[in-house]
A and B are shown apart, each in its own frame.
Chain A
Amino acid sequence: TKRRKQHQQKHSGPKAEKKKAKKQRGSAEEDERKRNPKAFAVQSATRMAKTFHRAQDIKTRKHHIPLVDRTPLKPPPIVIVVVGPPKVGKSTLIRCLIKNFTRQKLGDICGPVTIVSGKKHRLTFVECNNDINTMIDLAKVADLVLMLIDASFGFEMETFEFLNICQVHGFPRIMGVLTHLDSFKNNKTLRKTKKNLKHRFWTEVYQGAKLFYLSGMVYGEYQTQEVKNLGRFISVMKFRPLVWQTSHPYVLVDRMEDLTDPDKIRTDPKCDRTVSLYGYLRGTHLKNKGQVHIAGVGDFQVSDVNFLPDPCPLPDAQKKRALNEKERLLYAPMAGVGGVVYDKDAVYIDLPASHVNQQQEVRPTTELVQSLIDTHATLDAKMAASKVSLFSGSATLDPTDISDEQEGLREKSVWDPKTQRERRKVLFTEEEEDEEDEDASGSSDDEADESVEEEDQNEDDLSTFLKEARLESTKATAGGGPPVKKQKLEEKEGEGGETEELAFADSEDELENSSEESESEGEAGRARDSGHCSEEEEEEEESDDEEEEDDDEDSEDESMEEEGSAADDMAKSESEEEAEQGMCMIRFSLNSCSDLLWKEGLQQKASEAFLRQQEAAPNLRKLVYGSGILRLQLHVHTHLQYSEEEEEELGGLFRVSRPQKSKKFQANARDCSRFNPDSSHNWDLEEMLNSIRDCFVTGKWEEGQDAATLLKEDEELYGDFEDLETGEIHKDQTGQQDEAEVDDEEVQKNKRLEKKRRLKERFDAEYDDGDATYFDDLKEEMQKQAELNRAEFEDVDDETRVQYEGFRPGMYVRLEISPLPCEFVTNFDPHYPVVLGGLGSNEGNVGYLQMRLKKHRWYERILKTRDPLILSLGWRRFQTIPLYHIEDHNGRHRLLKYTPQHMHCGASIWGPITPQGTGFLAVQSVAGTKVNFRIAATGVILDLDKSVTIVKKLKLIGYPYKIFKNTCFIKGMFSTVLEVAKFEGASVRTVSGIRGQIKKALSTPPGAYRATFEDRLLMSDIVFLRSWYPVSVPQLYNPVTSLLLPVGQKDSWSGMRTLGQLKHDLGIRNKPNTDSLYKPISRAQRHFNPLHIPNELQKALPFKSKPKQQQRKGKTPKDLQRPSVIREPHERKVMALLHALSTVKNYKRNKAHTLQHAKHKGFLQQKKKEEEAKLKRQKEAQKKLYRVMGQLDKKKQRSSLKGASQDD
């Protein structure tokens, strides 16, 4: 075939031009816009505004209020709370997870267990038992909740209760875990159950919430792969900051030590205890000496806080991927696992159970004392515990518990033979039928197993009991509760002079003591207390040095204070400082001589650091606060109740020894904020004036801000430019210079780089500013603040930093709390979490709280005013008496007797001051699980006040005793004239609705008054006066002290009983008002007399209204009925003929009619046609006429134009 001619692209000519132009014009869309502008034009301004608004709305809705990121660099371990009904597999799961992360096995999960799970991850596992107190406390501190659900059984009430508790106290992350999935034999039912449970879980948490499945057990543990997966899920999880947690410090206590003097306990076993609590600090910064609340115990003031080395430190920054065996740490002192534990003044070494013999060697030889200490701490607890294990399964099925009708959740008590307890199954109305079917099918094979299982169970029980008993006996020999506590190496140093000291510290101490004899012994001891002790000797040494420095500083400080007031001239103090420095140096050199050789370097370093510090901060801090730590110790916050004691006063700020007179003068000096100048500056001198010249805009500016330099910079930046108009190119001056020298080149390069950087910065700023919104600005601001927060105290050492910002979250702290009730120690049960929450500045006080409250929709009864209620608010759980009220439209708070069914109402209580917006939940009782759904109400704090404004309606009733026309004398409402005087002018009303006004009191009878009404009253009327009576809120604030109860009875706290309960318990029944009783209604038959209308009236009435005389027509009697006509055959024929004829006639008539109609129609059409033709003709004629006329007109015009042109 013939070869086709190849396409040749045009490079010139119109076609090429066109193509080029098209290419240059750019995108097609723009082209569209240009070509068809109308299509893209604004059709409707309103529509456009609307779409714009909508777009903006959607965009803005995605924004969250930016918050300053305050998470510490080293965050505390994540708290994972494992929740679920008993025997669902909580402990097993924790054990498996711990084994997964640390390769270690843990027996009894006792208290929080902290592990290092990754290079940057630490986890704390806590098991939550079935007690509602525990659930509430742990919901407040949880970061992640693992919610275990027994799939073979379905949801239990505890699950929903816990979810609702979580919702109130900020919603932590929640992950469901389905266990007991191996009990399903049928695959289809398994899938169906999974799906059902998942969807129900989703509606409760959020759509798509993670639900994890643990399919089966292998040798009593979950499958390794599944646990591993769960672990991975946990470690990648992100957490949201919760409002309450981020604004309060809190500690989940993982270790407890009783510091009380053993002798004191011996003499008085019920004495108040001094206890130190340990744990990771979470939330925010904790201030020393702050107020804390221990959930389940009460409010206390922390007497001292220290931070300790992290018992479970994260591995140092390394590049490798996985943790090695050494770094997989496990810390659970309550469960007896922790390795070496450091304390302020002791080191505890934990040895595994196999080392029991060695352990005893380590213990002090004074066995008598030791045994005393040990037995005191644990005997009671053990007794109580053993009791529990004996009687735990004694509950019986209560058939009355099964409720009948409810709308939301329903509970079904199911006796579970495996767990030996009553399970509170949740029933959903729609699911119920399925449930029962399955039950029926499942029960048969269940029952078959049951008998066998039960036997096993019994055997198991027996064996476990024996095991426990053995374990306990070994424990008893090992001495003490789970954390195997060693005797402290040292007693408190401050208690006596002859304390045990480490050998190397001795010499210094002596020196110290001799150098400051003025100070009392106790103070020195206290000062030493503050430094935290560490295992390594070097650190000890260093801290000692520091202390010494501090002491030096202090003494110098005192000398300063002796010489003049704190307000002394700064310059003076500085010179003194310098003198002191010299002294310090001398002392240091002395020290170093006497010290061991290997410490010399350290000493040197310390002194150098000290000198550096001295130079950097000229001791203003000391001037203000005294010498750091010491001053803090010195300054004891005196409790008011103790303020009378001499010793406390000696420690106070204003007890520093000074001449009596000057002190008095100081104490009562004039209180004035003005800073009167010292007359040293003479402002007439020129040099003085010159010294502040640069403070004014007229003075010299800094290098960076000077106008001249700025101008120059601009020139540099924009030096090169091309003048487009003239085509002239301006070159930068520097560019033209010859860069011959090598040194110069380097400089030039730097300069250029700098210039580029600045140019870029400027461009960035301009470019970003273009679409920077308010939101972006805000975010940036927060970011800046967060960076500043992080950077500000980073280079300060921890001791000092703690004073500036408090103990920061992530630190492992030791809190000493001094007057704790002895029950806290004697009844300590590590299975119950101890949550220690810090309180804000005002939160330690009590006042009236106004809140918005709603009865929980699953709680079956409404709540009654003045019935005691247990609230969980903030950190606290307490019983209080609420008054419910509702706000009327005029702002009046009207008392309600009961909470509304499905509505919010107000509630006022007397309770702890808590910031507004804090959520709370209410339960009627925390003891046992008798009720269906235990959470009675939820709500939020609205307002705090020291007074309440609730009123209730009060109707005063009176009776008229004399009635004039509209005036009335009324008695019985008041009893004195004075009372009436108070109500003069008040409006009154009768029952029938006649309104009136109180006018004036009458002298007799007392309390009677004159009133006017809008109408005349009857003597039988009752007059009432509607008024409002203020109600006072009962001041009951009763903290739930569940942790103080004996072991095994911690879930049986009961406070004040409600009136109903009291009556029920005491068997009191009120006699009802007989009027209120319901009786059978017996109504007498009424009969009416016939209406009699007088004759006269009858006559006048119209006929319609006249009483009708005639009787209604009844049925016509047979004899009056007309007989029917029966025709003869002939007649019948005639009739038939007539009928036929008439039919024919009718037909004919109809036919004629239609014919006529059609004819008429045709006629009308014809007529119309003619009409149209006529019109057409007329039109044509007119057209012709007009054309002619038009031509004439034109002609005329043309001729006129011609005429005109001719004229020209």
Chain B
Amino acid sequence: MASQGLSYDGCNFFRQRLVLATLSGKRVKIKGVRSREDNPGLRDFEASFIRLLDKVTNGSRIEINQTGTVLFYQPGLLYGGSVEHDCNPQRSIGYYLEALLMLAPFMKTSLKATLRGVTNDPTDPTVDLLKSAAIPLMKQFGIDGEGFDIKVVKRGMAPGGGGEVVFKCPVRRSIKPVQLTEPGKIKRIRGVAYSVRVSPQMANRIVDSARSVLNQFLPDIYIYTDHMKGANSGKSPGFGLTLVAETLNGCFLSAEMSSTPQGQGDPVLPEDLGRNCAKLLLEEVHRGGCVDSSNQSLALLLMTLGQQDVSKVLLGPLSPYTIEFLRHIRDFFQIMFKIEVQKPLEDERKGGDKVLMTCLGVGYSNINKSIK
């Protein structure tokens, strides 16, 4: 069979490539992974990611050369089921969970993944953010069912980790097309201020400062404080804030910020963190759209994998990650998006330029789900 594969250079956008390869069934070869660096080859977190991919699939073939600079991946079928994985603490669980969110609806059996590692760190989208923004987004695409949830069992901050997250997702045969062109007005802001292995007062201080910024716009703000103790508090101290703005049309915009990991960089005052996080949310609102910036690629993927109907989503400015994702989607699924910029009107006070993404789904059906 003349099944063709794709070849890429460098380990950038590593997850995108593997995830799309798995979904499209195309082989992928990634060459020159940090080949010029002193420490060549795949990092531990990437290896951990590959291992996770191996756990949720059946029959996939992964070949890595001795130095780890060349990776060949032949995807198998997504199996799902109960999966436990110890994520490498170099990256937070969000790194792994983002990929799982993309794969989970297309498994053979519904996925129940228990991921252990760092739940919150400053680089990746945290588990709380994905829980509050990605899950409602996926529900818009018809992925819903009992137990569709991300649950933070234990919280583990950056360097040490020790957190635990349970992600459950039902499977779908096909994805609904969506028309998310009107984000609507923001009606409420919710959030979680978490703190582990520090004074519980920290969370309250964060809440106060964040509210001080956001109260200029909206009275309906509620920020939960989440202080985990004992065994549930992981191995490192830290605190942070996740804010989510919900609009009238059920769109979620989110922002987050966590304290710098212990022993890396200057410590942050909780007040500053709260204020800055609130400003990040305002920035996110300024960007606007129906999907927040870190979930753009998830929305675009689900649009691509929809039935052969037109889907539309209004986004804020495309992030570099999303742009690369669009290119990858074209490589793997031969789908191009129609990209239209919507400039704000003269007297409108709704933030910056928006981008209307339109595409025709590929008519993807979950070939893993069995019929009995």
Contact = CB atoms under 8 A, between A and B. Distances in A.
Contacts of A617: 339-341
Interface stretch (B151-159, B163-171, B202-210, B330-338): B330-338
Given A625-B327, A681-B286, 11 more contacts: A284-B308, A287-B333, A567-B319, A620-B341, A652-B7, A652-B9, A675-B322, A689-B282, A788-B310, A792-B360, A841-B333
B185 A696 contact: yes
Interface stretch (A95-103, A477-485, A939-947): A939-947
A291 B4 contact: yes
A912 interface: yes
A68 B185 contact: no
Given A624-B339, A695-B285, A804-B359, A846 B310 contact: no
A796 B60 CA distance: 41
Interface stretch (B27-35, B110-118, B230-238): B27-35
Contacts of B336: 625, 803-804
Interface string B179-216: 10000011100000000000000000000000001001
Contact of B310 (A290, A696, A701, A792): A792
Contacts of A701: 185
A413 B10 CA distance: 67
Interface residues of B, number: 105
Nearest to A788: B310
B350 A694 contact: yes
B316 to A, nearest CB: 8
B141 interface: no
17 contacts: A567-B320, A637-B6, A643-B7, A652-B9, A667-B9, A668-B11, A675-B322, A683-B283, A689-B282, A694-B348, A698-B218, A788-B309, A841-B24, A915-B367, A916-B369, A942-B370, A947-B58
A298 B98 CA distance: 38
A793 B355 CA distance: 17
Interface in A1152-1166: none
Contacts of B286: 681, 691-692
Contacts of A653: 327, 331
Which of A698, A806, A841 lies at the interface centre, i.e. has the most chain B CB atoms within 10 A of its CB? A841
Given A625-B326, A654-B8, A944-B367, A785 B349 contact: no
B318 interface: yes
B140 interface: no
Contact of B3 (A690, A700, A845): A845
B359 A789 contact: no
Interface in A793-833: 793, 796, 803-806
A1088 B321 CA distance: 97
B6 A624 contact: no
A694 to B, nearest CB: 4
A841 B23 contact: yes
Given A675-B294, A696-B217, A785-B309, A668 B334 contact: no
B177 interface: yes
A643 B9 CA distance: 12
A683 to B, nearest CB: 4
Contacts of A240: none
Q: Which 3 A-B pairs have the closest CB atoms?
A: A946-B59, A667-B10, A567-B320
A693 B332 CA distance: 40
Nearest to A567: B320
A916 B371 contact: yes
A691 B310 CA distance: 32
B270 interface: no
B124 A674 contact: yes
Contacts of B8: 654
Contacts of A668: 10-12, 32-34, 37
Contacts of B185: 694-697, 699, 701
A1149 interface: no
B307 interface: yes
A565 interface: yes
A842 B32 CA distance: 27
A395 interface: no
A427 interface: no
Interface of B: 1-16, 23-27, 29, 32-34, 36-37, 58-60, 76-77, 95, 98, 108, 123-125, 177, 179, 185-187, 213, 216-219, 248, 279-280, 282-283, 285-286, 288, 293-294, 296-297, 307-310, 317-324, 326-327, 330-341, 348-351, 353, 355, 358-360, 362-365, 367-372
Given A640-B4, A653-B327, A570 B317 contact: yes
Contact of B36 (A287, A664, A677): A664
Interface residues of A, number: 93
B279 A683 contact: yes
Contacts of A671: 11-16, 95
Given A681-B283, A789-B309, A804-B338, A299 B1 contact: yes
Contact of B10 (A664, A690, A697, A805): A664
A618 interface: yes
A673 interface: yes
Given A691-B351, A695-B285, A847 B321 contact: no
A692 B349 contact: yes
A299 B349 contact: no
Contacts of B358: 792, 804
A638 interface: yes
A842 B37 contact: no
A699 B349 contact: yes
A517 B233 CA distance: 62
Contact of A683 (B29, B37, B282, B338): B282
B186 A635 contact: no
A842 B25 CA distance: 5
A623 interface: yes
Contacts of A669: 10, 12
Contact of A247 (B5, B125, B363, B368): B363
Contacts of B6: 637-638
Contacts of A841: 23-26, 332-333, 362, 364
A804 B283 contact: no
A695 B15 contact: no
Contacts of B13: 671
A673 B294 contact: yes
A301 interface: yes
A382 interface: no
A916 B77 CA distance: 13
A487 to B, nearest CB: 31
A672 interface: yes
Given A623-B323, A668-B37, A943 B370 contact: yes
B67 to A, nearest CB: 14
A943 B371 contact: yes
Contacts of B76: 946
Nearest to B278: A683
Contacts of B58: 945-947
A90 interface: no
Interface in A246-304: 247, 284-285, 287-291, 298-301
Nearest to B364: A841
A418 interface: no
Contacts of B25: 841-845, 913
A285 B308 contact: yes
Nearest to B57: A946
A772 interface: no
A845 B317 CA distance: 37
A1002 to B, nearest CB: 40
B4 A637 contact: yes
